[in-house]
Amino acid sequence: MIFLILVITIIVIALVLFVTWFLSTKADGNCPLCAMKAFPPSKMTIDSSKDKDYVGGEKLPIMGWSSWNTFRNHIDEGLILDTAKAMVDTGLAGAGYKYINLDDCWHSSMRDENGMLRGDMESFPSGIRALCNDVNTLGLKLGIYSSNGTLTCEDLPASLGNEELDAKTFASWGIEFFKYDYCHNQKISGKTPIIEYISISSKGERESLRLTPDKAKFTGRAKTVKVKDLPTGKGIAFLNHGAGKASYVVNLAQDGEYVFTVHYKKMASKKKPYMQLDVNGKIYEIFFPPSVAFTPDARVQLTVKMNAGENNITLQNPVVTRADSAYIQYRRMGKALENATASWAMFENTEEKPITYSICEWGTNHPWKWGAKAGNMWRTTHDIMAKWWSIVHIYKRTLPLYEYASPSHINDPDMLEVGNGKLTPEENKSHFTLWCMMAAPLVLGNDIRTLLNEDKKSQIILSILKNKELIAIDQDPLVKPAKKIGRQGNVDIIARPLSGGDVAICFFNKSNKNKEIEYELNDLKEDAYLNMSRTNSAEVHDLWTDEIFHRDTIKASIKPHGVKVYRISLNSYEI
């Protein structure tokens, strides 16, 4: 009986809270039912089909090194330069590893007097631009890190709200890779206050034009509502959570920057309500300040570029889910990077250095569905660890995403742990092979300096990382990652098409026992993704033993946690 009373009490309290929220949301001019569409949060509702792809950066998966996996928050310019030199001296640079990427903790907790990020004043006393010049002198490229949040993951200054300034800073230093994390992120609100009207004026002049509710063309649920405590007694409501839009057509005599003053009804909110102004296809974002609402109305201002003649203006808030917010924020930084590298090249009268842009929100918002519009590459999972189960987990999560990759648009299963932890030589070999098969970035996470030693372990690690045949698979210009085409017990069979009509096929033994496999190459013709016209008398190249043979059947023994990987070629061996 007590349990039943408790359940009923909880239900009653929940209903009261829901009704209270529902009524307060509606009173603020927001559509309550539209706000309830925010689930699942990882599903993006914004139509990005008309948005342009990110145009900067590498077309192929990057190859390089990152400071995080081994050194975490203990890095300095001496370590970075020694690593860059070791990259050259070990021959890794010659094998294609070109990027030296600073992860978190490269910078000071203080921005400079101009609000710009700067290197840690003790650990990087020469400054990041000088470090970049030194790295470039070695024939390598420097990468850098920030977070799409108020702070980085290690609680240092980050770039949310400072996108344009930070992008300009990175461009001025010569940075060519940028990793943008997701710690301390603040989701854009789907709420929008009631808009009383928007006044438009030329700079230095009084209001010359007013956009009132009665002049708007509404779509969706957006509409005019009566508001007693506003001076005009009415406003535009239901712009929230993609509920609707209010549009205007404005004719002007001349081009120029105009002052927009948005008059609105305050909302009692701890978070910043949000609205977009779409002016001739250019998006201007407005974040309304949180309010305790001592007075009913307020205003915010911004400057907007408009053209002589007809201008189309739309008021909207497309943010429904967390993924919508992430898309807007990551794309905002992408556009800032594009503009910054182009502007800096023009200012310096030099060749532009496009920045390869890495979206690192851990796969939380399904970035493979929208990442091409924002950047070059996107993390598919949370951080990797130097543990076998972590590698297998990430492989399983990333492999099914093969359809989303293409040149300049790369699935990123995180950095390599080859040489780290207690991974066996066979596991290191498999880890590297799987990343190459998935067309993943090859970003080393070990201490490159130790590979200068001539010990057996260093030689094994180098032989794995410098396997030119597998690197050629990873760097194939088609950028078509492997897909799973079959299974024999605990052995996954994955394959990817390559340029010139070749195919790479890999047999991955996930078990703790030796496995014998037998595979008929003729079966490859059944998969349209691989695009093989025939398989008889093909050249089969074992990419770890370097053995080449001509058979229609592959027979092999695979070690525990091991792989066998082959390149199948029809062009080099004719009937």
| Tens-place pLDDT, residues 370-382 | 999 999 999 999 9
> What's the chain's Rg over C-alpha atoms?
28
Q: Model's pTM, two decimal places?
A: 0.94
Strand pairing category for 356-359 and 377-379: parallel
Confidence grade of residue 572 (pLDDT, cut at 50, 70, 90): low
Q: Give the contacts of 317 (CB within 8 A, at least 6 positions apart).
A: 190, 191, 192, 239, 240, 241, 242, 274, 275, 276
**CATH architecture under which domain 483-569 falls:** Sandwich (2.60)
Token duo for residue 182 = 């997701």
Confidence grade of residue 41 (pLDDT, cut at 50, 70, 90): very high
The answer on pLDDT for 20 being more than 50 is no
Q: What is the mean pLDDT of residues 135-151?
A: 98
* CB atoms inside a 10 Å sphere around CB 90: 21
- pLDDT confidence of residue 575: 40
Q: What is the mean pLDDT of residues 326-349?
A: 97
The answer on pLDDT for 461 being more than 60 is yes
Q: Is 474 helix (H, G, I), strand (E, B) or coil?
A: helix
Q: How far is CA 557 from the centre of its chain?
A: 39
H helical segments located in 90-188: 128-137, 163-173
- pLDDT confidence of residue 487: 97
Residues 326, 200: Cα–Cα separation, whole Å: 31
Question: CATH code for 189-318?
Answer: 2.60.120.260
Confidence grade of residue 35 (pLDDT, cut at 50, 70, 90): confident
Q: How far is CA 273 from the centre of its chain?
A: 25
The domain segmentation of the chain, as residue ranges, is 63-186+327-472, 189-318, 483-569
N- to C-terminal Cα separation, the chain:
83
The answer on pLDDT for 10 being more than 90 is no
**Planar angle of CA 94, 98, 104, nearest 5 degrees:** 145
Question: CATH code for 63-186+327-472?
Answer: 3.20.20.70
Residue labelled with tokens 């001496």 = 78
- Smallest Cα–Cα separation from 319: which of 193, 181, 195, 187? 187
- pLDDT confidence of residue 504: 98
Residues 539, 573: Cα–Cα separation, whole Å: 6
- Encode pLDDT of 70-91 as tens digits: 999 999 999 999 999 999 999 9
Dihedral in degrees, nearest 10, Cα atoms 113, 117, 122, 126: -90
